[in-house]
Amino acid sequence: MEINPLIGVGILLVIAYVFFYLPQSQIRQILVFIILFMIGYALVITVAEMPAFGALDTPAYNLVAARYIEGTVGETGALNVIAAIITDYRAFDTLGEATVLFVAIAAAVSNLKTH
Amino acid sequence: MEDIVVRSISRLIVPFIQLYGLYVIFHGHLSPGGGFAGGAIVASSMILYGISFNLEAGSRKLSHDVSSLLESGGALWYLLVGLIGILLGSNFLANKIAGVNLGTPGQLLSSGIIFLLALGIGAKVASTMITLFYSLSGGESSDGNRT
């Protein structure tokens, strides 16, 4: 479904006005209820559009998954496909993950030292 | 906690947990698991030790210096293993393309850098969890005073 960007911006402005600037009143409560109902409705119809569990025509079930399953042993020598993905095909991503761990522990230790 | 049952059982079971964690790390490329899962298992053994004995005993077994050495060493090890690919004339963290010997699939020493990277990740995750536990529970401060 094609949506005009201006309509989307308008909806966002209305939501921001209601949530952040409208004073506490009966009208505010009704508007908040309507907005939350609309958001919830959109989320529910999105979930209803999703493919069934284990369906063969899932968008995630594409060439990439087949490539990993067929090529892992030949290309990486590992039997565990997940280990091959996280430390070979996506090794740079895992390096970033290790960096996140490092920064998190550095921040935690440097803050807790003062106690 | 001063409970003889908890102490005896945890003293008995901690080596087995650590052995299992090392098994999961070393067999990351063969069986379910890997660096993250194995590191968490190894760290949980040290956390169990710290809970069932006391925090001082735990930090004597694995001091803050060793833990931070493992922490930084894991990250540096990951980077160094990644540089193997560049030294062999290919991309950063390259495995088969760089010509690393992959060995026989199914053997313990196979799959090139995957095996080496799992060791670094395991050390890093284990030391992260242990350091966080001992820091948050206030067992060890920077200058060695108990808070």
Same domain for A100 and A71: yes
> Phi, psi at residue A24, to the nearest 5°?
-65, 120
The mean pLDDT of B93-102, rounded to a whole number, is: 81
Residue B78 has its nearest CB partner, among A95, A108, A112, at A95
Min CA distance, A3 vs chain B (Å)? 43
Cα separation, B67 vs B73, whole angstroms: 10
Cα separation, B12 vs A55, whole angstroms: 47
Same domain for A104 and A68: yes
Q: At residue B140, does pLDDT exceed 60?
A: no
Q: At residue B18, does pLDDT exceed 90?
A: yes
- Residues of chain A with pLDDT below 50 are 115
Same domain for A103 and A80: yes
**Structural domain includes residue A56:** no
How high is the pLDDT of residue B77? 92
How high is the pLDDT of residue B141? 46
How high is the pLDDT of residue B142? 46
Q: Are B119 and A92 a contacting pair, CB within 8 Å?
A: no
In 3D space, the residue among B108, B107, B131, B112 whose CA is nearest the CA of residue B46 turns out to be B131
Tokens of A115: 């106690």
Same domain for A107 and A68: yes
How high is the pLDDT of residue A113? 66
**Structural domain includes residue A14:** yes
To test the contact with chain A by mutation, choose from B29, B86, B142 the residue with the greatest count of A C-beta atoms within 10 A, namely: B29
Same domain for A105 and A73: yes
Residues 6+ apart with CB under 8 A from A57: A51
Cα separation, B18 vs B39, whole angstroms: 9
Task: Give me the interface pTM, i.e. the ipTM.
Answer: 0.77
Q: At residue B124, does pLDDT exceed 60?
A: yes
- Give the tens place of pLDDT for each residue, B30-78: 888 888 999 999 999 999 988 888 777 777 778 878 888 888 899 899 9
Cα separation, B36 vs A100, whole angstroms: 13
Residue ranges of A 85-104 with Cβ closer than 8 A to chain B = 86-88, 91-92, 94-95, 98-99, 101-102, 104
- Give the tens place of pLDDT for each residue, A8-37: 888 888 888 888 888 888 888 888 888 889
How high is the pLDDT of residue B147? 43
A109 touching chain B per CB within 8 A: yes
Range of the domain at A89: 63-112
In chain A, the residue whose alpha carbon lies closest to the alpha carbon of B129 is A105
Same domain for A73 and A38: no
How high is the pLDDT of residue A114? 53
**Structural domain includes residue A77:** yes
The mean pLDDT of B7-17, rounded to a whole number, is: 92
Tell me how many domains chain A contains.
2
- Chain A residues whose CB is inside 8 A of the B79 CB are 95
Same domain for A13 and A42: yes
- Chain B residues whose CB is inside 8 A of the A87 CB are 28, 34-35, 113-114, 117-118, 121
How high is the pLDDT of residue B126? 92
Q: Indicate the domain borders of chain B.
A: 4-136
Q: Are B120 and B26 a contacting pair, CB within 8 Å?
A: no
Q: What percent of chain B has pLDDT over 70?
A: 92
